[in-house]
A and B are shown apart, each in its own frame.
Chain A
Amino acid sequence: MNNIKIKNAKSQLTASITTDTNEKSFSFWKDENGVYQVSSIADGGITNSGGNSTQMTITNPHTEGVAHTHITGDYNCFSNGDIFNFQKGNAARPSLIYSFAFASDGSAYMLTIVDQAKFKTFMDNHPITNYFTINSQGYAISAGFKEGTDLYNEFKSAMEQFLSQGVSEDDAFAGATAHVLIKYDTGAALSQQDSNGNFNSIFVNESISPSSTVQSVPIKTYTRTSECNFQ
């Protein structure tokens, strides 16, 4: 994001983010001279049934990253569908390992594939059709996991437990997203940009303790941490 072309594209992408009614996106890659290039800004996002950001902007075979906006009213962090569509993009273009989400309040998140093999294994074991409504090209057009699925239940528990701790809805959503990525050993990491412009990884500890001596239902507690706890 420090490259001048990518910075300019990001500025263009987010110029009208507070009033946009649809998500926008662009992608970037290095050309044969090792110089970063960016695509034009594309309209469309996960909220459009016509497609999604990751799908729409991957035209160059050497694409390294994609970026899309989350408009006012969206959660700041990546939706569940964003993650799976990122995988679809990565499957088509293995060089694609970065995805950025820019929110209307100025916050930014980054999804990075840190272990391609694990990411593929996770996706192979969790077919997109089991978790989302998809379009004819196989991309998720629903933003959340299907109700009752294992990923839905895991995400829900973490999100609601964070809320019960008094965590903000956006931070709870990001925490639940990080929790799922870690718990399922997905090979992908979630980061959030700080006020200095640095992206810091989000890790979540899940602790389980017996509720009492007479009940066997465990109490789960989720804690956000900066300490890496990848498997």
Chain B
Amino acid sequence: MNLINMKTLYKIITTLSLLGFTNIYAQVDTLNYLKQFEVNKVSYIGQPFSKLLKDMAQIYPKTAWSVPLTGKKTITTNTRFYFCAKELSFHNVITLWIEWQNIIPRDQTKYYEQKNDFYFTNEERNFYGSKIIKDIKVFR
């Protein structure tokens, strides 16, 4: 009985350790994982964002930020996608930067930001999924 319990305990510890390792590894690897899509950007430029989302199977954007950072506040030329909790996205965040082929009126992107508080829901997935990619950059 004691032997079975020890084996069970060993399995539990091993499983938890592996899960912990996987979790840490996944966090560390987010940048490299996303970098693959930047390196292979030729496959996605001119294609709808949904293609990139479909291929990006291992992680999923948690938030999307389209507020313009340049002088013009009425148009969205690019969107930044983050893969962490919103409150953690203001420091050294890994950024998937997508420039759009066609300018998106800011009132459209603002609508979703205000409705869903910058979270990337199915509504954002559908909205941005139909937009055509002009360029991809990944950085932190």
Contacts and interface: CB of A to CB of B under 8 A. Distances in A.
Nearest first, the 3 A-B pairs at minimum CB distance are A144-B70, A143-B71, A148-B139
Interface in B64-110: 65, 67-75, 78, 80, 84, 86-93, 95, 97
Interface string A198-230: 000000000010010001011111100000000
Contacts of B69: 144-145, 152, 155-156, 159
Interface residues of A, number: 39
A82 to B, nearest CB: 8
A160 B90 contact: yes
A74 B72 CA distance: 4
B93 A157 contact: yes
B91 A208 contact: yes
Interface of A: 46-47, 70, 73-75, 79-81, 142-145, 147-148, 152-153, 155-161, 163-164, 169-170, 172-173, 208, 211, 215, 217-222
B84 A217 contact: yes
Given A75-B71, A79-B71, A219 B88 contact: yes
Dominant secondary structure of chain A at its interface with chain B: mixed
A73 B90 contact: no
Contacts of A218: 91
Contact of A160 (B65, B70, B75, B139): B65
B89 A160 contact: yes
Contacts of B113: 163
Contacts of A160: 65, 67, 80, 89-90, 118
Contacts of A46: 71
Contacts of A156: 69, 80, 95
Contacts of A217: 84, 88, 91-92
Interface string B26-67: 000000000000000000000000000000000000000101
Contacts, number: 87
Contacts of B91: 157, 208, 217-220
Contacts of B75: 73
Contacts of B93: 157
Contacts of A220: 90-91
Contacts of A169: 67, 73
B137 interface: yes
Given A46-B71, A163-B118, 20 more contacts: A73-B75, A74-B73, A75-B68, A75-B72, A81-B71, A144-B69, A148-B139, A156-B95, A157-B90, A157-B93, A159-B67, A160-B80, A161-B90, A163-B65, A169-B73, A211-B87, A217-B84, A217-B91, A219-B91, A220-B91
Contacts of A75: 68, 71-73
11 contacts: A144-B70, A147-B78, A148-B97, A153-B92, A155-B69, A160-B118, A163-B65, A219-B87, A220-B90, A220-B91, A222-B90
